[in-house]
Amino acid sequence: MAFNSTLASAELFAGNSITWDHQSLEPGTSELPTASSESRAGLDFEDARVSSHLGLGLDFGQDYFKVEVLVFVAALSLGFKLYNRRVPRQGILSKATSLLATMALLTSISLLLTSSLLPSGTSGHKGPPVVPAKFLQTASPTTSSVPQFTVPASADKGKDVEANIDDPLAANPQLVCPGYSASNVQNTKNGFTADLDLAGPACNVYGNDIEHLSLLVEFQANERVHLQIEPRYISKENETWFRLPEVLIPKPQNDPLCEEHNSDFVVSWSNDPTFSFTVKRKATDDTLFTTEGSKLVYEDQFIEFVSPLPESYNLYGLGEVIHGFRLGNNLTRTLFAADVGNDIDWNIYGSHPIYHDTRYFTTDESGKLTYAPYADDKTARYTSYTHGVYLRNAHPQEVLLRQPGITWRTLGGSIDLYFYSGPRAEDVTTKYQESAVGLPAMQQYWTLGYHQCRWGYTGWQRLQEVIDNFAKFEIPLETVWGGSFFPFIFQNDHDTWNYTEGEEFMNRLHKNHQHWVPIVDSAIYAPNPEDEEDRYPTYERGLEADAFVKNPDGSIYYGAVWPGYTVFPDWVGAVLGEAGTIDWWIDEISRWSKNISFDGIWIDMSEVASFCVGSCGTGNLTLNPAHPPFKLPGEPGNLVLRYPEGFAKTNETEAISATKAIITQSYGPTATAVPTVTTTTTTKNFYRSTPTPGARNINWPPYVINNYHGDIGVHALSPNSTHNGGYLEYDFHNLFGHQVLNATYSALLQVQKGVRPFIIGRGTFAGSGKWAGHWGGDNEALWAFLYFSIPQALSFSIFGFPMFGVDTCGFNGNTNYELCSRWMQLSAFFPFYRNHNAMGAIDQEPYRWSSVIDATKSAMAIRYALLPYMYTLMTQASLAGSTVMRALAWEFPNEPWLADADRQFMLGDAIMVTPCLEQGADTVKGVFPGVGEGEVWYDWYTKGKVSYGVGPGENVTIGAELGHIPVYVRGGKVVPLQEPGMTTAESRQNPWGLLVGLDGTGRAEGKLYLDDGVSLEPEEVSWISFTASNNFLKVEPLGNYPDTNPLRNATVMGLEHEPKQVWLDGEVLEQEHWSYDAGRCVLELFELKEKFSGGAWVQGWEITWE
């Protein structure tokens, strides 16, 4: 086997178990000891290939084998290879001299590769270069064979600012500002208006106070009230300072039939001591939101309003942030899109300014409701009410959850609040989508299959190897993704991703009913003007279309992303100005599609990200292509060496070696000849701007939000970068990701006419779900992030994204077989199911370990059987705004002990998943909701009842050995199933099945939706209704979709009495087609294909039993 420094060759890790022959490495060869394969599939050891980079001990545990490989051996092997190739006929002395020279050269290269050549430079937000002239012609060594300029690390450093919430000297607006006074109150047909004026001298604490405001209250629908506060006098010049254009983010509209007396709300106001407003629920007289006791602060760069919250509140939403599902006290949610990893409690990729507030009440004999902050009495009966609050504002925001309430701060815009009455959480989500942000995009059927991705797949041949390995181990695979970023978006690399091989690859892929999705980053490479071969037609056509963001002086804004210095599409200017960005984008995608027939698009880096502050590329394009100002994963000095917690328990020696390597790597830069850039700051050096009369401080607003990158111009477009029409990035930053999804959706509508666009995006805003799905971003291969994937998914259900998933097995760091087994099974119940990880880490396709193969196949068998059910849920979400992944508390709203339950979840209303989320565990604690009210649960695997003797809210210990994920079926539901295939297309041609779980009254019902799975407006559709009772199962189809697959079997769970006879449409069903298990109370109907040879749903039918 040829030596491979990553030990990651397809041959070695094609899935066969390996044993090593005890041979030595002979001088002059480039071979490690021969590998012999055994028949069993997979590798049940920790795959520590990355450790060979530093010569770590490879202890694969479990008595398979142990190999110690040193870097010296790797270097020696490579040296001998080079030496033998270059000097095969020299004498002994010459050979020795050549060998020493070769080894010296290798050592020098190694030192160069581990050096960090990143001199310091100035930084700023404006056009001039941030790189000192003396440094511009200095080439930093990278892994490229050609010296490549590296953008200096200092280029991405802005002002040293301190978040206001961390600054003990920061002014408290509630103490220094005067508030407002209301006057001229006028009733309208569906609400009222008022004038608001400063109640004292302006405080100008974090901006310029707006002296005169207008209040508008509209009872827009029975379940929705709108409250808006904005400046009374707005000019065209400052309109976008305060108003979010409806053409970008539509406003909910009034129901002409709604009047105040029909509303679920009561809205009042007061001037005691200053203006405040209060929103109450009419049915309960419960105050949902009130600014009473606080002051309204309204400035051109700072707005603050405060409302108390009830004791022990239950709030959800306000994203995108990695956190548990239920939000607690002493929590700050920053809403500012940022290119970061999944850092816990920091702002990441999207902005979703909406929250749910659920409150539990007890009811006395008279029906009076009493708020129950600590509702832990399992014998009491509770009623819950959920309301939603949505702030239609795209400016940078900060929401503080501190006792006694919620403080909402925004750096611009207006107070544009919408309250939703619920009373169920599902009602809030549905009405929010219907009225404000739009219903979710309907996905193609195949997108529910399994997706495999990797940052670092190097070409078509590598993708084909992955596909072949999935087929070899009989693991379903639907889609492979282009995990290597293309230097030029819309233009494949001609060496590894050329179009000729690509079309051949696509033909094979599509013939097998599989798919390919490429990545499209959000920045456009700016070619080197001094390099005639460095041409990029996409960029040139963009210049002609005036499609790019500019500097304040009208010149092109050049940032830096993966390929080097780049430009950025001007989405705001395309809508509000005259930029030709959208037409240009559509044309580029159309051109690309003619060269390669992709099946969807993955939009990344769309917060939008830039690796330098300001227009750092201005004057520096001759340095392109440039390396980012940081080392990529896997590059020398940035090897991926971290493993999950508990790794030492399964691979002690390897864990020790990895730890030593991490320490060595962390000290590595200090031993290099070229020092790295270092900066030190103290609290004395923090920069803080002050309000300027009559002007806004755009780049450094006086109020500093708690942003991950600190300065809001760091790792992003400069706030003063300018869109066509003179609009500033400061006012629209959070909408970049939203608008690129909009444009991409429009492009795919034209490229793939009549087909539902498939898009997965990273940067999102309220309403992006109507165009795209979302994945959770750059998570970690750690057990904590296995758990966090659930609250992430539930939060995005609130935000209107049913098509959600995370990077299964973890993106950053190295996974292991136990974590990956658990994760592959958990993600099988997420709508978007994709395995993805960073380059430099170990390979983590599920066929890499035999235990993961087994776990994956087990979970995928369930998922693919459930695809018709999941597709029906997705359809209902698209048509009515319902959710797919659901919190237990949503389905069982009167059980307060479920308020923070986020380690279990529902898939629709029929399937409950209780995953094991802890390393080394073989059991898991779980509740069975509703048992106190007669709910029945069935084990997916045994089909028997599991809720006997379980009390309300009781945590039950459930067996969950590695490879098993507990799944339960809710009584009262009929779940349509289809025999799983290797692809969704194959599955759709297989026979049907029905899984019936009778409830406590012996009833069940369900639905199935059918169409062609791809059409934007399908002409043939069918809805099939299922009803069941103690003595019948009835099917009623409605529609014209021509499905001819037969029914093979049906299972009725919870049937207490053995049938004496079974009939199909009045005719006796022979005994060989049914059986009854009295121990499990299960009626099985099987081998029915001949009875339904024309199709299971072509007409109605009924099975009865006595």
Could you list the active site residues? Answer: 604, 607, 778
Measured in degrees and rounded to the nearest 5, phi and psi for residue 134 equal -65, -15
How far is it, in rounded angstroms, from Cα 1038 to Cα 1007?
Answer: 11
Amino acid letter, residue 931: V
Evaluate whether 1032 touches 1104 at the Cβ level (below 8 Å): yes
Is residue 311 classed exposed, middle or buried when 0-12, 13-18 and 19+ CB atoms within 10 A define those classes?
exposed
How far is it, in rounded angstroms, from Cα 982 to Cα 412?
Answer: 52
How far is it, in rounded angstroms, from Cα 770 to Cα 749?
Answer: 14
How far is it, in rounded angstroms, from Cα 998 to Cα 5?
Answer: 58
**DSSP E strands: which ranges in 920-1040?**
923-926, 937-939, 956-959, 967-970, 973-978, 992-997, 1004-1010, 1022-1029, 1032-1039
Evaluate whether 998 touches 972 at the Cβ level (below 8 Å): yes
How far is it, in rounded angstroms, from Cα 724 to Cα 580?
Answer: 10
B/e letters for 640-673, b = 16+ CB within 10 Å, e = fewer, are bbbbbebbeebbebbbebbbebeeebeebbeeee
Pairing of strands 479-482, 515-521: parallel
Q: Which two tokens stand for residue 564?
A: 């080097």
Bridge partner list, 1029: 1032
Evaluate whether 481 touches 518 at the Cβ level (below 8 Å): yes
Evaluate whether 994 touches 931 at the Cβ level (below 8 Å): no
Is residue 370 classed exposed, middle or buried when 0-12, 13-18 and 19+ CB atoms within 10 A define those classes?
exposed
Pairing of strands 276-281, 265-270: antiparallel
How far is it, in rounded angstroms, from Cα 9 to Cα 3?
Answer: 9
How far is it, in rounded angstroms, from Cα 824 to Cα 450?
Answer: 10
Cα-trace Rg, the chain: 31
How far is it, in rounded angstroms, from Cα 524 to Cα 545?
Answer: 14
DSSP labels for 571-618? HHHHHHS---HHHHHHHHHHHHHHHS--S-EEEESTTT--SSSSSTTT
How far is it, in rounded angstroms, from Cα 100 to Cα 60?
Answer: 34
Tokens 């506060």 belong to 229
Count CB atoms within 10 A of the CB of residue 124. Answer: 18
Tokens 């830039």 belong to 610
DSSP 843: P
CA dihedral sign of residues 895, 899, 901, 906: positive
Amino acid letter, residue 739: Q
Residues with Cβ within 8 Å of residue 578, at least 6 apart in sequence: 546, 724, 725
- Tell me: cis bond preceding 806? Omega within 30 of 0 counts: no
How far is it, in rounded angstroms, from Cα 869 to Cα 911?
Answer: 10
Note the Cα 557 to chain centre separation in Å: 29
Bridge partner list, 907: 885, 911
Residues with Cβ within 8 Å of residue 917, at least 6 apart in sequence: 783, 786, 787, 822, 826, 903, 924
CA dihedral sign of residues 452, 453, 454, 460: positive
Helix, coil or strand: residue 1088: coil
Amino acid letter, residue 891: E
